[in-house]
Amino acid sequence: MKTDIDRLMAERDMGALIVPVHEVYSPFLDYLVGSVRITHGMAVKIRDRDPVIIAHGMETDEAAATGHQVHSMAEMGFYDVLKAADNDSGRAEVAFIPHCLARLGVTGGKVGVYGVGHLHKIIAQMDALRADFPDYTFVGESGRTLFDEAAITKDADEISRIRVVAAATNAVLAQTWDFIASHRAGDDETVIDADGQPLLIGDVRRFILGALLAQGLEDTGMIFAQGRDAGMPHSRGRDEMPLKLGQSIVFDLFPRERGGGYHHDVTRTWCIGTVPEAVQAAYDQVMTAFDISVEVYKPGLPTRHMQEAVQDYFEAQGHPTARTHPGTDKGYVHSLGHGLGLQVHEKPGISHLSKDDVFEAGNVITIEPGLYYPADGYGVRVEDTFCINADGTLESLTPFKKDILLELQG
Amino acid sequence: MKTDIDRLMAERDMGALIVPVHEVYSPFLDYLVGSVRITHGMAVKIRDRDPVIIAHGMETDEAAATGHQVHSMAEMGFYDVLKAADNDSGRAEVAFIPHCLARLGVTGGKVGVYGVGHLHKIIAQMDALRADFPDYTFVGESGRTLFDEAAITKDADEISRIRVVAAATNAVLAQTWDFIASHRAGDDETVIDADGQPLLIGDVRRFILGALLAQGLEDTGMIFAQGRDAGMPHSRGRDEMPLKLGQSIVFDLFPRERGGGYHHDVTRTWCIGTVPEAVQAAYDQVMTAFDISVEVYKPGLPTRHMQEAVQDYFEAQGHPTARTHPGTDKGYVHSLGHGLGLQVHEKPGISHLSKDDVFEAGNVITIEPGLYYPADGYGVRVEDTFCINADGTLESLTPFKKDILLELQG
C-alpha cells in the first residue's frame, strides 16, 4: 500500500526518490501524488515526508489540485540553473534535479528514479547525473520494484475506485452483448443489421468505445478477435472483418478511468448462434480450470500453486502448456493471471515462474485460463477480476454471465 | 524523414539501435516499424538494413501486420536464455538483448536505446548490460535526438495521414461550436439547455470525446478551460464548472489517430454571448501576433526569429514575455509553437531558445501566440497547425474560423 512506501525506501537505503514527468501518462506519478495531468517537472518523495510536486508555472494549478505541496520551477530556481547552463535546456534539466533535491534538504545519498517516459532521455540524463553529481547515487530498479511491492496491496480508497470501474465495465459488457444480440443472421453465416448490412468487428468496437465513454472509462487496447485471431491471445482483432456465426470470439476488455486511472480486466468468449463442438469442449475445460483456480485459492498460497493446479489439469487433458512447452503457441500458452491497478499488469504474477508472490488481503487480481488453437481457427479465454478482502475471501468483481452462446434476437 | 535514419545512425557511429517494448504506447516504435500494438519484445534496426521485430509468440500476428520481418521470442532463443538465467525473467530480459543482436549479426559496437517505457527498468537494465556485455556500448540520447532529427521532416505518407487527422479535427471543432451555440442564455449569466439545465464543461467535454470517436480520433488531454483557468495555459478545465457568458474559454484540442498515431493541434478562444473589453483587446493582439508569425515566415528562417518577432510585438504592447521575465505567469508566457507528428510536441521548437532549428519543407508545426492574465480571470490563445510544402510555402491545416464571439442560437 501507499503507506508502505517509507518502509520500502528504508529497506533500499533510499533517502529520496524522484518521478520525472515526461509528456506521457505515468501511473507511478498518479500513484505517488494522485491524478495529475502535468507535462514538465517532477515529483520528489523524501523518506518520511509527504511528496512534493515541482511543476512548470503553466501547470501549478493542475498540480495543486492533488492537495500536495507544489513549487513552480521558477520558485525552485530553474531559470537560474538555465542561465548557468548557457540556456542549454538539456543540461539545465539535468542540473535541476540535484538542485531541487538540495533545496529540499537532500544533499547526497541514494536516490531512486521511477516513472514512465522517454528511455533514451533518462539513460543520457543518468549518465550526466552520475558523472557530474557524485554526492548522489541515482538508481533505477527492475524485477520486483518498490512501486510493485507497494501497489501489490490496495488501500480502501483504491478498492472503492476499483469497484466503480468494475461496475461500469460490467455494464458495458451487458450493453455489448445486447447490441450484438439485437442483430440477425444473414446469408453466408454472417451477422447483419436491420438494413441487411453486415456487422463488422469495427462496428462493435465503436459501440464499445461509445459505451465506455458514457461510463467515464477509456479503452487501453481491447481485444475483440474472431476465429484464428481469437487463437492468438494478443491479436486485437480486425475491424474490417464481418462477425460470423459459429466462430469463437475472444473479447478482452481492460479499460481504465478516463484520462488515466484504475483498471478493470475481463474476458468473455462468445459464439454467435451456434457453438462448434471443439470450441464447446475447450470452453468447458476452461471453465473447469477457472473453477479449479477459485477452489485452490487460499490466503497465503504461493500464487504459482494456482497456475500449477491449472497446468496439471490442462496437461492431463492433453494440452501443451507454457510449463511443458515454453513458448508454445497452442494449448494453454500464458500465465493464469496478474495483479492490476493503475497498470493493467501489476504484481502479483500468477505464473509457475512467480517465485515471490503469495495471495494476500488487498490484492486485486485476474484469473484468466485459456486454450488456443490458432491453426484450428479458435481460442477460448474467460477472465474475471477479483479482490481479496480483509478476511482473506476472494471476491469476484465481474458478475457478468460467462455464457458462450450468444443467440441473435433481431 | 524515415529515410534519414541510416545517415543519422552513421553520424552517431551507431551500428544498431533498439526500441524495447514496454506496456506503454511508444511513438518511437510506431515511427520505426509502423502502427503495431505489442507489449513485449523489441524492434531492432541495424544500420543499412530494414528493422526487425522480435515479439512474444502471442503477438507475432500483430507484429507481422506491419510488413516487417518478425521473429518470435521463442525462435530467437528466449527460453534458452531464460533457462540459463535460472528462470529469472529479469536477468533473462537483459541477456536477451545482446543475444538477439548477436543472432542478427551485431556482436559489439555502439547500440542506441530509444523508446517510451518504464524509466526505473531501463536504468537498471542499462547498468546490467554495461556491466555484463562490455563488447557493446549501449547509449541513450537527450537534446536533439536521432528520432527528433528524422521526424523533423515528414514524408508524403505521413503528410497524407496528417491531412486526414486535420480534416477530422476541424469537423469536431465545427460540431463543438454548433453544439454550444444550440443552447441558450439562462439567469445568472449561465448557458442552459432546452430543459433549463446548466451546460457544464464536463458536458461539452463528453460531446467532444464522442465527436472525436465518430471521426476515428482519440483525445490526448484536451484543454477546455474558462476564466482564471483559461489564464493558466495548461489548466485542463474543471468538468463541474457551468459555462458562463462573457468568460474567455481556451479550447486546445490535440487528438491523434485512435490507438496512437498522428496528431493535429488547434486552439480557439471563445466568449459566449459577449466579449469583455480586456479579452477583446488581448484577442486582437494575439491575432496580430498570429499574422506577424505568418508574415515573417520564410523557408530557411531560424525558428527563433519568428518567436522573437512576436515577443518584440507583445513587449512593445507592454506585456511581460518569457524573454523579459523567464518563468512569468502573466503576459506571453510560452513558446510560439512546435513541430508535431506521432508526438504532440516534436522538433522544430519555435522558442527564442531554439538554437538549431530552421524552417524547412516537410515540417509540420503549430503557431500559437497567447496572452494570459490569470489574476484578471482570462487567457487567450489561437493556434493552427501548418505544414511546409515542398515549394517552401506555409499551408494552414486548420481552416476552422478563429472568431471569438460565439452567439447562442437556442
CA distance A306 to A394: 13
CA distance B90 to B156: 41
Instruction: Give A299→chain B minimum CA distance, Å.
Output: 25
Contacts of B90 in chain A (CB under 8 A): 142-143
**pLDDT of the residue at A278:** 98
Q: Write the DSSP symbol of residue A370.
A: E
Contacts of A210 in chain B (CB under 8 A): 210, 213
Q: Tell me which chain A residue has its CA closest to the CA of residue B356.
A: A88
pLDDT tens column, A161-211 = 999 999 999 999 999 999 999 999 998 899 999 999 999 999 999 999 999
**pLDDT of the residue at B188:** 87
**pLDDT of the residue at A323:** 95
- Per the prediction, chain A carries an average pLDDT of 97
**pLDDT of the residue at B51:** 98
Q: Tell me which chain A residue has its CA closest to the CA of residue B326.
A: A79
What are the residues facing A302 on neighbouring strands? A358
Contacts of A267 in chain B (CB under 8 A): none
Inspect the interface and report whether the beta carbons of A327 and B72 lie closer than 8 Å: yes
**pLDDT of the residue at B410:** 79
Assess whether pLDDT exceeds 90 at residue A152: yes
Inspect the interface and report whether the beta carbons of B90 and A210 lie closer than 8 Å: no
Over residues A62-87, mean pLDDT: 95
Picking from B24, B118, B130 by the largest number of A CB atoms within 10 A of its own CB, the best residue to mutate is B118
What confidence category does residue A137 fall into, taking pLDDT thresholds of 50, 70 and 90? Answer: very high
CA distance A216 to A199: 26
CA distance A38 to B8: 32
- Find cell 489540485 and name the residue: A65
Q: Tell me which chain A residue has its CA closest to the CA of residue B147.
A: A120
Q: Where are the domains of chain B?
A: 2-149, 152-406
Long-range Cβ contacts of B45-51 (<8 Å, 24+ apart): B45/B5, B45/B9, B45/B16, B45/B17, B45/B18, B45/B19, B46/B15, B46/B16, B46/B104, B46/B105, B46/B106, B47/B6, B47/B9, B47/B10, B47/B14, B47/B15, B47/B16, B48/B6
Other Cβ atoms less than 10 A from the Cβ of B159: the count is 19
Instruction: Give the CATH superfamily of B152-406.
Output: Creatinase/methionine aminopeptidase superfamily (3.90.230.10)
Contacts of A116 in chain B (CB under 8 A): 22, 24, 116-119
> What are the cell numbers at B241?
464548472
Q: Please identify every stretch of chain B with a pLDDT value under 50, giving residue numbers as ranges.
A: none
Inspect the interface and report whether the beta carbons of B142 and A59 lie closer than 8 Å: no
pLDDT tens column, A330-345 = 999 999 999 999 999 9
Pairing of strands A69-72, A52-55: parallel
Please give the model's pTM, rounded to 2 decimal places: 0.96
- The helix (H) or strand (E) run that includes residue A137 is strand A136-139
**A-B C-beta contacts closer than 8 Å:** 192
Angle B239-B241-B242 from CA coordinates, rounded to 5°: 120
**pLDDT of the residue at B106:** 98
Assess whether pLDDT exceeds 90 at residue A410: no
**pLDDT of the residue at A220:** 96
Pick the closest to residue B117 from A150, A220, A26 (CA basis).
Answer: A26
Q: A235 and A251 in contact (C-beta within 8 Å)?
A: no
Nearest by CB to residue B123, choosing from A120, A122, A128, is A122
**pLDDT of the residue at A146:** 98
**pLDDT of the residue at B187:** 87
Pick the closest to residue B136 from B8, B11, B16, B46 (CA basis).
Answer: B16
**pLDDT of the residue at B267:** 98
Evaluate whether ipTM surpasses 0.85: yes
Residue type, A198: P
Inspect the interface and report whether the beta carbons of A121 and B142 lie closer than 8 Å: yes
pLDDT tens column, A2-43 = 999 999 999 999 999 999 999 999 999 999 999 888 999 999
Assess whether pLDDT exceeds 90 at residue A119: yes
What are the residues facing B370 on neighbouring strands? B381
CATH code for residues B2-149: 3.40.350.10
**pLDDT of the residue at A108:** 97
Assess whether pLDDT exceeds 90 at residue A139: yes
> What are the cell numbers at A381?
479465454
CA distance B357 to B154: 15
